[in-house]
A and B are shown apart, each in its own frame.
Chain A
Amino acid sequence: MTTSQVASVDRDLWPSLRRHTQARIGLGRAGTGLPTHHRLELQAAHAAAKDAVHSPFEPDVVAEALRGEPTVRVRSAAPDRLTYLQRPDLGRRLDPADRAHLPVGEWDVVFVVADGLSSRAVHEHGAAMVRATTALLPTAWRVAPVVLAEQARVALGDDVASAMGATMVVVFVGERPGMSAADSLGAYLTYRPMPGVTTDADRNCLSNIRPPLGLTYETAAAKLAGLMGRASELEITGVGLKDESDHMEVSERLL
């Protein structure tokens, strides 16, 4: 193949492909390197993500969006952001004083909205996901007050569920910011969690809840409620419980 065969300019291809993905595709080259413009764009995105990691969680924002629903606030055993980043063990445990304030009951499920590594994700999507998921649950289910957790990791939900007597816990947590997405929410479902015994293999996870570019609330809530229903029947979560729902797209048309 000669150069002339591949030399005709096609400026429209990459812009049209970028409709399908936020990935940094078709950036072009300067030798083997990136063009200056793209290099600086990457640095700007990294700077924004780094700044996002350190923005504080505001439980009021979520409580306000959940107005009408009972909420309760807790902190983990990590006293500040810097400690939280270096001591995940503390982020998985409740502050003892806050544990004592949690309402005990025969709850079928408790929702925990946890800041994780992006309070922005939780501020933007946490309340909407609680509402969308709750709406799909059987009316007979006893849903505990929503727990708003600060400096919290996923396994803090085990401690919460155990302290409240809840059968199942769903933790909505801010995922660590990427360069294209600083507002991605994850959902972790665990059946009958036991602090210190439950492992990640005992959970089911949905990630990248972030409409309109990631999973929408409707899709995520439907998947989650489906998993919760089957978890309740089978009394299990984790690798033994697969997400069998249909995939949204088919690949056949592409090829």
Chain B
Amino acid sequence: MSTYTSTLGGHRYRFGSLARLLAAASPERSGDRLAGLAASSAQERVAARWALADVPLTAFLAEPVIPYETDDVTRLILDTHDAGAFAAVAGMTVGGFREWLLAADAGELAAVAPGLTPEMVAAVSKLMGNADLVAVARKVRVVTAFRSTIGLPGRLATRLQPNHPTDDPAGVAAALLDGLLLGSGDAVIGINPATDSPKAVRDLLELLDGVIQRYAIPTQSCVLSHVTTSMDLMERGAPVDLVFQSIAGTQAANASFGVTLGLLDEAYEAAKALGRGTVGSNVMYFETGQGSALSADAHHGVDQQTVEARAYAVARRYDPLLVNTVVGFIGPEYLYDGRQILRAALEDHFCGKVLGLPMGLDICYTNHADADDDDIATMLTMLGVAGASFVICTPGGDDIMLNYQSASYHDALYLREVLGLRPAPEFEAWLGSIGLLGEGGEIRDVSGTTHPLTAIGRELAA
């Protein structure tokens, strides 16, 4: 194991391994302190960054932060590394790589992605400011499709999240109507079910599929159940568009979610075989989030941002339609306040995009974190500028099932207006066809009217 050193302020700092160096260089956050991995002083943090800037990118191939023998995510990363794509940056240090990224164009960034490992990308992010993370990410375009196309320039998609605490179909349908009337749902209509009961999940899938078919909405549905539940339901003929799974960056953390790469391989093949997409065939949906590995005691002494980036190597294997970090959901023991959540959101989006993923965000916070709706507005604006593929939206920004606050449908309208962003093209055309699109491309305010879509709600109310 290599040792890394640097001198700052007359003091010589030593870092006993690449993992220790990465952790010490990471911007401050409560989770790394909880893990006992954070730099012990502000100067040690900057000293670690000086040392990290001089580390050659090839070091990340030579010294895995988690051993190859004991972790299948490490094996996935190294076994699928594309040396040809890496050649463009193979001679660089982390510091030089930062400068290259800032100057690179979209074509160069797309070409190098298969040659990058999560650790390289995590490392360079630690040398970048928030503005750097925005500037590089916004150049990257990752386009995926199922019934709508996600990630095109000038577009921002949304996940409509009509959750209900008891999976009550009437309650779900009411929230679904609310989101559709506010122009939301082009990334996915996605429900977090209250239980993983196959019967309950299937009822929700049938409900969403019924609405999508009846109104010919160019979008996809997802009930975010465990991958084994989705596999079971696909076998029984349920209308599964996307297979969802929460994933993490180590084998042990994935085990805590009850998944293995083999299981994901199987689910991926089964979903592809259904062929339910119309304009594309990306069938997987993943959620991630800093802190999940530590929460499962499965981080192997690696800082939470680097472990998070490793989850993107897992996602990348399955050409997903959607990936989002649920940044801020896990609580103040991992990301303490609005400042730390913002930083993590920008890091995750940057790392995901640079590794070639259709990265979106659930910009959120819990009530025991030191954050509020002003932090949501700040994060949303920065992530909109950074070119996030999609954001998750909830009624009024309040999820009554998961008990946390996320962006609202109104927030997405705001973001589209101030940045001139439009919905996915297929969904935009559909919005036009049902009279929800104004002359300037904005979502018309039809609250208090008898818009035809309100038939969804009128039947419930009857």
Give chain A's interface residues, CB within 8 Å of chain B. Answer: 1-2, 5-14, 16-18, 20-29, 31-34, 38, 42-43, 45-46, 49-50, 52-53, 85-89, 117, 175-181, 184, 196, 199-201, 206-208, 210, 213-215, 223, 238-239, 242-252, 254-255
Q: Which 4 A-B pairs have the closest CB atoms?
A: A24-B396, A178-B403, A1-B435, A21-B171
B411 to chain A, nearest CB (A): 8
Nearest residue, chain A, Cβ from B413: A32
Q: Which of B196, B445, B448 contacts A11 (CB 8 A)?
A: B448
Report yes or no: A42 in contact with B400, Cβ–Cβ below 8 A.
no
A152 to chain B, nearest CB (A): 15
A122 to chain B, nearest CB (A): 15
Collect the chain B residues with CB atoms within 8 Å of residue A28's CB: 445, 447-448
Report yes or no: A23 in contact with B162, Cβ–Cβ below 8 A.
yes
Give Cα A20 to B162, complex, Å: 12
Q: Pick the interface stretch among B102-110, B252-260, B274-282, B315-323.
A: B252-260
Collect the chain A residues with CB atoms within 8 Å of residue B389's CB: none
Collect the chain B residues with CB atoms within 8 Å of residue A206's CB: 195
Give a binary string over B424-457; 1 marks a CB under 8 Å from any A CB, 0 the rest. 0000000000110000000011111111101001
Nearest residue, chain A, Cβ from B399: A178
Report yes or no: A86 in contact with B449, Cβ–Cβ below 8 A.
no
Q: Is B395 an interface residue (CB 8 A)?
A: yes
Q: Which of B171, B229, B372, B459 contacts A23 (CB 8 A)?
A: B171
Q: Is B71 an interface residue (CB 8 A)?
A: no
Report yes or no: B198 in contact with A179, Cβ–Cβ below 8 A.
no
Report yes or no: B168 in contact with A243, Cβ–Cβ below 8 A.
no
Collect the chain B residues with CB atoms within 8 Å of residue A33's CB: 410, 414
Give a binary string over B26-42; 1 marks a CB under 8 Å from any A CB, 0 the rest. 00001000100000000
Report yes or no: B367 in contact with A23, Cβ–Cβ below 8 A.
no
B386 to chain A, nearest CB (A): 20
Give 17 pairs: A residue, B residue, CB < 8 Å, sorted on A. Answer: A6-B452, A16-B461, A20-B460, A21-B175, A25-B174, A27-B447, A32-B413, A34-B396, A52-B367, A85-B368, A88-B331, A88-B333, A184-B165, A247-B203, A251-B169, A251-B206, A255-B210
A17 to chain B, nearest CB (A): 4
Nearest residue, chain A, Cβ from B198: A242
Give Cα A88 to B291, complex, Å: 12
Q: Which of A8, A223, A243 contacts B449 (CB 8 A)?
A: A8
Give Cα A28 to B347, complex, Å: 34
Report yes or no: A42 in contact with B297, Cβ–Cβ below 8 A.
no
Report yes or no: A87 in contact with B34, Cβ–Cβ below 8 A.
yes
Within 8 A of A (CB), among B322-347: 331-333, 336
Q: Is B354 an interface residue (CB 8 A)?
A: no
Which of B200, B229, B295 is packed against the most chain A CB atoms within 10 Å?
Answer: B200
Known: A23-B171, A208-B166. A201 touches B203 (CB 8 A): no
Report yes or no: A179 in contact with B367, Cβ–Cβ below 8 A.
yes
Known: A25-B178, A27-B396, A210-B165. A178 touches B197 (CB 8 A): no
Collect the chain B residues with CB atoms within 8 Å of residue A184's CB: 165, 403
Nearest residue, chain A, Cβ from B298: A199
Q: A88-B331, A207-B165 are in contact. List 20 more A-B contacts (CB 8 A).
A: A8-B449, A10-B454, A13-B454, A21-B174, A23-B398, A25-B175, A42-B398, A45-B398, A46-B367, A50-B367, A176-B366, A178-B367, A178-B402, A181-B400, A207-B195, A244-B197, A247-B203, A248-B166, A251-B210, A254-B170
Nearest residue, chain A, Cβ from B369: A85
Known: A20-B170, A23-B162, A208-B165. A180 touches B400 (CB 8 A): yes
Known: A242-B196, A254-B459. A34 touches B410 (CB 8 A): yes
Report yes or no: B206 in contact with A176, Cβ–Cβ below 8 A.
no
Known: A196-B297, A251-B204. A208 touches B401 (CB 8 A): yes
B335 to chain A, nearest CB (A): 11
Q: Which of B203, B229, B258, B434 contacts A238 (CB 8 A)?
A: B258
B288 to chain A, nearest CB (A): 16
Q: Is B250 an interface residue (CB 8 A)?
A: no
Report yes or no: A200 in contact with B296, Cβ–Cβ below 8 A.
yes
Q: Which of A196, A214, A244 contacts B199 (CB 8 A)?
A: A244
Collect the chain A residues with CB atoms within 8 Å of residue B368's CB: 50, 53, 85, 117, 176
Q: Which of A9, A87, A249 contacts B170 (CB 8 A)?
A: A249
B369 to chain A, nearest CB (A): 9
Report yes or no: A32 in contact with B174, Cβ–Cβ below 8 A.
no
Q: Which of A23, A29, A85 contacts B395 (CB 8 A)?
A: A23
Q: Which of A13, A29, A117 contacts B445 (CB 8 A)?
A: A29
Nearest residue, chain A, Cβ from B208: A251
Give Cα A72 to B402, complex, Å: 31
Give Cα A210 to B454, complex, Å: 30
Report yes or no: A179 in contact with B178, Cβ–Cβ below 8 A.
no
Q: Is B194 an interface residue (CB 8 A)?
A: yes
Report yes or no: A23 in contact with B199, Cβ–Cβ below 8 A.
no
Q: Is B211 an interface residue (CB 8 A)?
A: yes
Within 8 A of A (CB), among B285-299: 295-297
Collect the chain B residues with CB atoms within 8 Å of residue A196's CB: 297
Known: A32-B410, A248-B166. A243 touches B171 (CB 8 A): no
Collect the chain B residues with CB atoms within 8 Å of residue A239's CB: 226, 228, 258
